[in-house]
Amino acid sequence: MKELKLAAGVELREIKSKPLTEKEVDSLKEKSGTYESIFSKRARKYKELGLNEMNLQEKDYRKYLLTDYTFLKRPVLETADQAVAGNSKKQVEIMKTLT
């Protein structure tokens, strides 16, 4: 996040106390392409629930994104027409171009 030069008026949101709504999760999916692209496979519960051994479908990713905030890749940068999630070098570079 420190690498990104965020403009004034950008909202930083703490999703633990203010979880995403269905509408927000669906909007992130529309802007990023898939629910899987915003789903964190590094979340502790991913292995605890045995999800790593299942063949998850888009509807499954959506369900888990709505049940626990830890399944959302972070950070997430959302613009009017695009959403990018995660902190990989590639994702951060994309975020830099959007800020």
Task: Tell me, yes or no, whether 63 lies in a domain.
Answer: yes
7 vs 72, more confident: 72
The domain containing residue 46 runs over which residues?
22-98
pLDDT at 50 over 90: yes
pLDDT at 5 over 80: no
Q: Mind listing the pLDDT tens digit for each residue in 9-27?
A: 667 778 999 999 999 999 9
Mean pLDDT of the chain: 90
pLDDT of residue 95: 86
Task: Tell me, yes or no, whether 15 lies in a domain.
Answer: no
Task: Tell me, yes or no, whether 65 lies in a domain.
Answer: yes
* CATH code: domain of residue 71: 3.40.30.10
Beta bridge partners of 78: 83
Amino acid found at 84: V
The total number of structural domains in the chain stands at 1
98 vs 44, more confident: 44
Task: Tell me, yes or no, whether 3 lies in a domain.
Answer: no
Task: Tell me, yes or no, whether 4 lies in a domain.
Answer: no
Alpha carbons 64 and 83: distance in angstroms, whole number: 19
Model confidence, pTM: 0.86
Task: Tell me, yes or no, whether 60 lies in a domain.
Answer: yes
Q: Quick check: 36 and 61 in contact, CB under 8 A?
A: yes
Closest CA to 35 of 70, 68, 72: 72
Concatenated DSSP letters for 5-31? -PPTTPPP--TTTSPPPHHHHHHHHHH
